[in-house]
Structure 1
């Protein structure tokens, strides 16, 4: 794609942006910033933004991403409950944990296998756009959101990979503002990793 064609596509996408997408993006940024601070309010922001994206993704023919939002709604409730029930005496939510290398290997193989299967099914039986990439970002997000709910430190590293893939996916489908949101996410994710790692070492000490 030439620079001129890309500019035309971005300009067209910007005109197509809805007020709902703007609200969803604002809630998405609020969710991640609050998660970095380990605030329970992140799950309220997550629930609101997810409800909007469920509809938006369905409109642009990303069925796996749309279905993912149903999972996010459930995880917003689950994450809130987990963080609240594990609250500590210093005012923070449940403590941060880490996974051993074997668990990470199993998780990655599971995500890639699920992505290959669902991608093949979507390609054969639906008109889904980018079925394999859509599947990868979906299954990867399922795993990583659960890691956030359980406060696993390495969730930030997983998000770095998934969000990078999502940027291309959303640009290709004309969701310009959402793609910009995920570019912002990449910056916050790096900050979040170091912030959580600092807290992890502090609680261990």
Structure 2
């Protein structure tokens, strides 16, 4: 009798968690689609989806991914403020590129942090896949900042991070989230093309304005 009650409770918990995962996935997709269109509402979807994933990742021992969600919550607020602040001043934050030096610094920093935190997690915690978990976490930290500043190459970074995340989530049996990131890999290509088109148009407009002045 008791075993049956425990089994029913576990099944109910799993069913509830799946519903939460579905909600998080839908909102995460909404964020990406809205971000591709440079819609400020993308940050609302990001905030709620992130809040759900914070608990989901903690539940499956992806400690760095769970901690990352706290950062995402802050960045959702920061990203919303950045995009709204520039719009209100009628000087929209434009899509732009980083220099090669900044990219090398960003990639090098992610590499070092991955090794350090991967080792610390492996030695001191029960975290699953500590090095991969650390890589996707710190890579996402840098790339999320790039999105808030509308850096064009963020889509290329996301392509790598999302691809690595698919294996991470499959290993933790978060199959719906793994499917989400497979869709992400496709959508980030579309996002890059859309942002690149806007970037070219704005660059040409700026050059034409400078010549006219």
Q: TM-score, normalised by structure 1?
A: 0.90
Q: Which has the higher contact order (CA 8 A, sep 6+)?
A: 1
- CA–CA separation in structure 1 for the residues paired with 2:61 and 2:162: 19
1:195 has 2:200 as partner: no
Q: CA deviation at 1:97?
A: 1.2
Q: CA deviation at 1:16?
A: 8.9
Answer whether contact 1:17 1:176 (CA < 8 A) is retained: no
Describe how 1:26-175 pairs up with structure 2 within 5 A. Answer: 26-87=26-87, 93-175=92-174
Answer whether contact 2:17 2:56 (CA < 8 A) is retained: no
- CA–CA separation in structure 2 for the residues paired with 1:204 and 1:89: 20
Larger Rg: 2
Secondary structure of 2:157's match?
helix
Instruction: Deviation per CA, 1:7-51: give whole Å up to 9, x if none.
Output: xxxxxxx98961000000000000000000000000000000000
Residues 26 and 182 of structure 1, relative CA distance in 2, 3 Å threshold = same
Q: CA deviation at 1:86?
A: 1.6
Instruction: Deviation per CA, 1:101-131: give whole Å up to 9, x if none.
Output: 1110010000000000000000000010000
Structure 1 stretches of at least 4 aligned residues deviating more than 6 Å after TM superposition: none
1:23 has 2:20 as partner: no
| 2:7 alignment partner in structure 1 | none
Answer whether contact 1:40 1:93 (CA < 8 A) is retained: no
Q: CA deviation at 1:89?
A: 8.7
Residues 16 and 168 of structure 1, relative CA distance in 2, 3 Å threshold = farther
Consecutive unaligned residues of structure 2, counting only runs of 5 or more, are 1-13, 205-213
- CA–CA separation in structure 1 for the residues paired with 2:106 and 2:194: 24
Consecutive unaligned residues of structure 1, counting only runs of 5 or more, are 1-13
Q: CA deviation at 1:88?
A: 7.7
When the two chains are superposed, the root-mean-square deviation of aligned CA atoms in Å is 1.7
